[in-house]
């Protein structure tokens, strides 16, 4: 749990998503599937290739310039309510790119003080 400057908190339940944009897209996809044993999954509305671990965590691999996204790695921090968590970030002076969604997740991206891209991720009921 992180306390913001205004006393509000953002509660992170875990890290459930890691994404990577890479020039080695095919090699990385084969490695995740064939060496690490992650299972490919399909989620409507997601342009990356997704793989899941046995606990449900997701690793996404995308081409370097997947349409409509930043060309870098990201880590998805699980929250119960992405709207409330984004409001907590805003209260602390952290900007987000608005709430996005697909059939599995609602999410918003932000840059942490290290300048790296992260996202808050709310899992939707399937």
Residue 26 DSSP label: H
The pLDDT tens digits for 15-36 are: 888 988 888 889 999 999 998 8
The pLDDT tens digits for 81-107 are: 999 999 999 999 999 999 999 888 999
- Candidate from 37-46, 59-68, 96-105 with smallest mean pLDDT: 59-68
Tokens of 74: 């990201």
**Domains, the chain, ranges and CATH?**
24-123 (3.10.180.10)
Give me the pLDDT at residue 114, please: 82
Give me the pLDDT at residue 47, please: 82
Give me the pLDDT at residue 21, please: 84
Mean of pLDDT values over 69-76: 72
CA-only gyration radius of the chain, Å: 15
User: 29: alpha, beta or left, given left = phi > 0 and alpha = psi -120 to 50?
Assistant: alpha
Give me the pLDDT at residue 68, please: 52
How many separate helices (H) and strands (E) can be counted in the chain? 2, 10
Indicate if the pLDDT at residue 67 is higher than 70: no
Indicate if the pLDDT at residue 124 is higher than 50: yes
Mean of pLDDT values over 63-73: 63
Q: What is the pTM of this model?
A: 0.73
């Amino acid at each position: 749990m992180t306390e913001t400057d205004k006393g509000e908190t953002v509660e992170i339940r875990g890290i459930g998503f890691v994404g990577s944009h890479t020039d080695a897209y095919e090699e990385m996809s084969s490695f995740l599937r064939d060496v690490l044993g992650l299972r490919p999954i399909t989620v409507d509305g997601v342009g990356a290739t997704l793989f899941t671990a046995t606990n449900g965590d997701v690793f996404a691999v995308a081409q370097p310039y997947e349409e409509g996204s930043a060309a870098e790695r990201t880590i998805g921090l699980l929250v119960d309510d992405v709207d409330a968590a984004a409001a907590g970030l805003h209260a602390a002076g952290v900007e987000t790119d608005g709430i996005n969604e697909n059939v599995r997740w609602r999410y918003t991206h932000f840059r942490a003080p290290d300048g790296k891209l992260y996202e808050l991720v709310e899992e939707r009921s399937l």
